[in-house]
Amino acid sequence: MKKIISVFVSAIMYAFVTASCGMIYEPSAQTDSTTTYTTEDLNNLQDFILTKETSGLEDKDYDLNGDNRWDSFDVGLMRKELSDIPTKNEEVKINIEVNGNTLTATLENNSSAEAFVKLIESAPLTVDMDDYGNFEKVGSLGTILPRNDEKITTQAGDIILYQGNQITIYYDENTWNFTKLGKIDNITQSELKEILGAGSVSVTFSTEKKSGIFDMINKSVVLNSGYTMPINGLGTYSLHGEECINAVKSAIKDGVRLIDTASAYGNEEEVGQAIRESIEELNIKREDIFVTTKIYPGTEMANPEESIKACLDRLDIGYVDMMLLHHPDKNDVKAYKAMEKFVESGEIRSLGLSNWYVDELTEFLPQINITPALVQNEIHPYYQENDVIPYIQNLGIVVQGWYPLGGRGHTKELLSDAVISEIAENHNVSSAQVILRWNLQKGVVVIPGSSNPEHIRENTELYHFALSDEEMEKINALDRNEKHDWY
């Protein structure tokens, strides 16, 4: 359902020209009028900022902040206004935890589903479920819910209420008089069977939107900011010019949806260009790509508002999904609080830190308002941070690892490690894939860097195998506390 808002603006006719800093116009008359905006308008505005294309927008007024141009400030204001309006009949989602996996499900719009939500919203409900009929897992709710039975042929992922007091998860077809509660999102029959396993299984249903839990099916994690971030991506450190543009476009073409850059890398313009071209060429949406950038200590953190705006201008993609402070600095609190203001305007969606450890976090966190959604540190099998990772995760903050493959001058040694090579051979994958999968199973987001299209593609193929507990322990034993960069 379209969300509609009304805001007062001054203008009834506009003359448009395209300028490098955005669309500039001069109102031909001044009058009070009421303009109705929808989510379609928000999409139009975001598309304009990316393409500067004015066709079809001649009669639109998207200058919400009155500065005589359309820019990312207007995007933030429009998004905020839209989010303030409640929407009727919004989809209701729940979480399902089973065998270490967190799935989401969309509920039906009926009294049974409403009663089920009330049952689990005060506290998660764990149900012991068993196989029945080779097509479902079933368990007792311990109470009776209202029924809305109808003849249904189930599909894999359907969540069914049976006899008012039993809940079932179907992994195959069956036709009977049931009440459908909902359906698990984005899962195939084979994936669901593998997750549920054979025999008895404990399944926990909850309504809370848990942050920090990796969803290996959708290859994503929910941040404490409420946004969803992919758990594997592309790092762009040392990539420049056409090499950078081609690498980012190759990654996006192969399904990568997380791109990491920084002001200090000197390639934000190339990254932004690659993203804009990919959106147009692949017919994907801006919101499908998660972009992280960073501001650097020294001059940038001393003048944070100017530095943040420069990052946004160089990227030129409407907004940034995540902005980090690149290192601790004497002005880091000042810079972070400046980033918080850009979150309020909608130009930055989530905030984070890079190269912050236990002592730094202990000192820093009490001085800010918005808890970081992510901390990005050096993490690889030779430098594992096994004390730092759980500390950060217990704060509700997601951990991301740079140099996951060892970094400059060390990658060859790490990929040739006998333990890792043996595990890779057992799974018929590369050593790089084993290391990246090890990170994911530790709850660490990975952003390996590469300009080689084959390596970029290989680094995304991490979800068709899993490391055993024994294999994880073997890699854990490789820790040397050997840092490969100074920070």
Reported in sequence order, the residue ranges of 54-123 that DSSP labels E, i.e. its strands, are: 69-70, 93-98, 101-107
Catalytic residue among 265, 296, 382, 403: 265
Q: Which amino acid is at 86?
A: P
Burial 237-276 (b: 16+ CB within 10 A, else e): bebeeeebbebbbbbbebebbbbbbbbbbebbebbbbbbb
List the end-to-end C-alpha distance of the chain, in Å, as a whole number: 48
Burial 314-329 (b: 16+ CB within 10 A, else e): bbbbbbbbbbbbbbbb
Asked if 393 and 371 touch (Cβ cutoff 8 Å), the reply is: no
Rounded distance, CA 290 to CA 400, Å? Answer: 14
The first and second tokens of residue 485, run together, are 């960069």
Q: Which amino acid is at 408?
A: R
The first and second tokens of residue 332, run together, are 């880091």
Asked if 291 and 267 touch (Cβ cutoff 8 Å), the reply is: no
Rounded distance, CA 340 to CA 347, Å? Answer: 10
Rounded distance, CA 352 to CA 224, Å? Answer: 11
Cα 308 to Cα 76, 340, 400, distances in angstroms: 15, 11, 22
Rounded distance, CA 190 to CA 195, Å? Answer: 9
With a CB cutoff of 8 Å and minimum separation 6, the contacts of 417 are 381, 431, 478
Residue listed under structure tokens 């006719």: 13
Rounded distance, CA 245 to CA 251, Å? Answer: 10
The first and second tokens of residue 405, run together, are 């493959």
Residue listed under structure tokens 């941070």: 385
Asked if 70 and 63 touch (Cβ cutoff 8 Å), the reply is: yes
Asked if 354 and 385 touch (Cβ cutoff 8 Å), the reply is: no
With a CB cutoff of 8 Å and minimum separation 6, the contacts of 117 are 92, 94, 107, 207
Give start and end residues of each alpha helix (H) in 357-430. Answer: 358-364, 388-394, 411-415, 418-427
Spatial CA neighbour of 271 closest among 251, 285, 295: 251
Q: Residue 265 catalytic?
A: yes
Asked if 42 and 53 touch (Cβ cutoff 8 Å), the reply is: no
* Burial (Cβ within 10 Å: 0-12, 13-18, ≥19) of residue 408: exposed
Helices and strands in the chain: count of H runs, count of E runs: 16, 25
Residues marked active site are found at: 265
